[in-house]
Structure 1
Amino acid sequence: MASKCYRSSPVALGLAARSFSQTHVSQLNSLDTFTEEEQMLRESVARFAQEVIAPKVREMDENEHMDPTIIQALFEQGLMGIETSADHGGAESSFTSAIIAIEELAKVDPSVSVMCDVHNTLVNTVLRTYGTKEQQDKWLPLLAESKLGSFCLSEAASGSDAFALQTRAKKDGDDWVLNGTKMWITNSYEADIFLIFANVDPSKGYKGITCFIATKDMGIQIAKKEQKLGIRASSTCTLNFDDLRIPAENIIGGEGKGYKIAIEILNEGRIGIAAQMLGLAQGAFEKAVPYTLQRTQFGQPVGTFQGLAFQQARAAVEIEAARLLTYNAARRKEEGMPFTKEAAMAKLYASEVAQRVSGAAIEWAGGVGFTRETGIEKYWRDSKIGAIYEGTSNIQLQTIAKYLQKQYS
């Protein structure tokens, strides 16, 4: 298959990791200055996205189904274990490398991008950060090489109030037995490995929330696959757990530590969503602008009329601002600096820019932009989720406001 010609990419990712360890972020001249190896990664992922993913985008969107060969190709590319150590089958690269990959994939298909994003910045990161050595040795190689991961937190009554969980876990001998339902779970249709948050002691409130790792063949039931406005190839399902039996050794981070895990991981994951929205905006821009400079009306390209040219100039500024916010949050995270406020800013602004630019791109292309054939309208449909998942825009504003109040009070 076409994907096989990209098997050298994990080497490039490994080089990026070694170079990153030698080139400290503080030595870089600007937020969007990259090491040579990071730039190699960007070019490799961009080429892969155009040649392997792009031909399948419309079909996957129309069918609301992720092509299994795309998932396999992502593993072959080394893009499903970007930060995972080489000892565990990963590329042992940097967080910014993951952000670069997510951004480049989103320029072509945000559905593929978010699948890669959740797998890397949520599932892999939880295990790398909180898993025991035995858990890491068992699960990380599978997640790097062949098994898709899913992060199961949201429920019908716990969306923005993420920790009002109703899923319960009770100890039974050497096992825990889970009962409950999760909703809006990304990657869940294709995933084999699931991180599930459940409350082991409701009397303790959020301090009873615990993270478990489970596999689909343990008895996880897909109750419903959602039909969505956008990112339609990315699966979003309702999951049922009826006496789901999980070994006690599959608790991640210890009993009652799920709240801490989720809070910290979602802060990091918001940078990934910012990267997805950034790539989406750039993808829509790059599809629409050339068309406006090729189509003529009244004797000149429509893109040279001042009204349209100024719109595109403003859109370019907003994309660049979103890019710098996103890279700033990523670099701060890598440096071990506080990044919660910066991640919220990046996620909020990038999602707003994605909606504005993708909507404008449809208008720039006129009637052609309104058709599904060009793929421009798909970016607009895909953009809407950016203001909703991994914390709505109001949640991001609340986070930013709290930091401002603390700073200035």
Structure 2
Amino acid sequence: MTVDRLLPTPEAHDLLDLTRELATRELAGKAADFEARGEFPRDVLRTLGRSGLLGLPYPEEVGGAAQPYEVYVQVLEILAGSWLAIAESVSVHTLSCYPVFAHGSERQRKSLPDMLGGELLGAYCLSEPQGGSDAASLLTRAVPDGDGWRLDGTKAWITHAGHADFYNVFCRTGGPGPKGISCVIADAGTPGLQPQKPERTMGLRSSAPAQIVFDGCHVPADRLVGAEGIGFTIAMEALDAGRLGIAACAVGLAQAALDYATSYAQERVQFGRPIGDFQGVGFMLADMATQISAARALLLHAARLKDAGRPFSIEAAKAKLFATDTAMRVTTDAVQVLGGAGYVADHPAERWFREAKVLQIVEGTNQIQRLVISRSLTHPVRS
């Protein structure tokens, strides 16, 4: 189903048309095969980068496409409808470019055109084995080492681990708590940077995360991003926008599941009628469609706040929470509409069901989103 979209410019319409064309030509027929083999689609991401889709929300002067987040999240939605792993990779890469764009030195920012053009793929190293949600307690440490820093520690659940060209590493350079955290960039191939075996995941097998071990990894001094001690601030700024990306992925996945279930319900005949004519199925489809529309509206509202330069972090948390919970409900119901057919890999519904689960976990679990939202209600920040 083609979603009726209100877009700010004719250029945005053209961009979404290009995205649909690329999704049909480069993604749709490849997803199942890559997922089955667990092969990372680096060349596909490079193609998207050369088509301008990896730097959409960044300014043209640094190699981006100067698109508002309102448009960017709709691009992600379309990509996710064809191949979630690709959309999630685009979201993570966009997130990974943020530290250098917003806080990088002039020398560091010279790499932005290659980053945003997809020639350099990024990874975002925040979570650790002993703590994901409690990011302020991270243990990976960087200590002065000659003309740079010596990194030691382990990061976990890293998208693009072993495939990225650069790694944003959030590490402790000072005392305990968030003020002791800094951000450094480590290039792939740096001695002591050791990607581990990919995790055996429920879904997203073509882009399975992995741990990164830093064992005496020497990073030059000029790879510190921003001032020492502001790493936690950089991480949280990036995650606010990253939550919009994951919400968009969830909406796209849910829309694909609804479209497939609706088509199946129109074709599958039982008791002499298409099963979609029975209220038990038709009402499920109606609820799925309504939840997706609500999730999309929350997402676009948060994106428009960001575009307007207004506070959006709480609305981003709401959008991430609702959209990913919706994706889980909708993909579950899509399997139910298909019945036994939904439980086998011959239909994509079972893969979408497995993939939806991770969206409730990444970029802050949905329990963390509820914590963020509830605190904004009970302990509002007063200007």
- TM norm structure 1: 0.89
SS at match of 1:213: strand
* Matched AA of 2:181: I
Written as runs of structure 1 = structure 2, the 5 A alignment for 1:254-293 is: 254-293=227-266
SS at match of 2:202: coil
2:72 is matched with which residue: 98, 101, 115?
98
* Higher helix content, 1 or 2: 1
Q: Distance in 2 between matches of 1:208 and 1:249?
A: 19
Q: Deviations over 1:134-192 (max 9, x none)?
A: 21113443442411100000001221101211111011222111011100001113111
User: Structure 1 residue 217 and structure 2 residue 192: aligned?
Assistant: no
Match of 2:173 in 1: 200
Taking a change above 3 Å as real, the CA distance of residues 142 and 318 of structure 1, as seen in their structure-2 partners, is: closer
Range that drifts further, 126-135 or 319-328: 126-135
Report if the CA contact (8 A) 1:214-1:250 is conserved.
yes
Number of corresponding residues: 378
Give the Å deviation of 1:247: 0.9
Written as runs of structure 1 = structure 2, the 5 A alignment for 1:114-153 is: 114-120=88-94, 122-153=95-126
Match of 1:60 in 2: 34
Report if the CA contact (8 A) 1:225-1:237 is conserved.
yes
Match of 1:19 in 2: none
Range that drifts further, 31-40 or 248-257: 31-40
Match of 2:280 in 1: 307
Taking a change above 3 Å as real, the CA distance of residues 135 and 408 of structure 1, as seen in their structure-2 partners, is: closer
Quote the RMSD (CA, aligned, Å). Answer: 1.8
Range that drifts further, 265-274 or 39-48: 39-48
SS at match of 1:113: helix
Match of 1:174 in 2: 147
SS at match of 1:218: coil
Q: Distance in 2 between matches of 1:408 and 1:210?
A: 26
1:402 is matched with which residue: 353, 363, 375?
375
Give the Å deviation of 1:31: 8.9
Report if the CA contact (8 A) 2:97-2:112 is conserved.
no
Written as runs of structure 1 = structure 2, the 5 A alignment for 1:225-374 is: 225-374=198-347
Q: Distance in 1 between matches of 2:194 and 2:279?
A: 56
SS at match of 1:181: strand
Q: Which runs of 5+ in 1 are unaligned?
A: 1-29
Report if the CA contact (8 A) 1:84-1:144 is conserved.
no
Q: Deviations over 1:352-372 (max 9, x none)?
A: 100010011111112222221
SS at match of 1:39: helix
SS at match of 2:212: strand
- Give aligned-pair identity as a percent: 36
- TM norm structure 2: 0.95
Give the Å deviation of 1:84: 3.1
Match of 1:12 in 2: none
Report if the CA contact (8 A) 1:81-1:90 is conserved.
yes
Range that drifts further, 127-136 or 332-341: 127-136
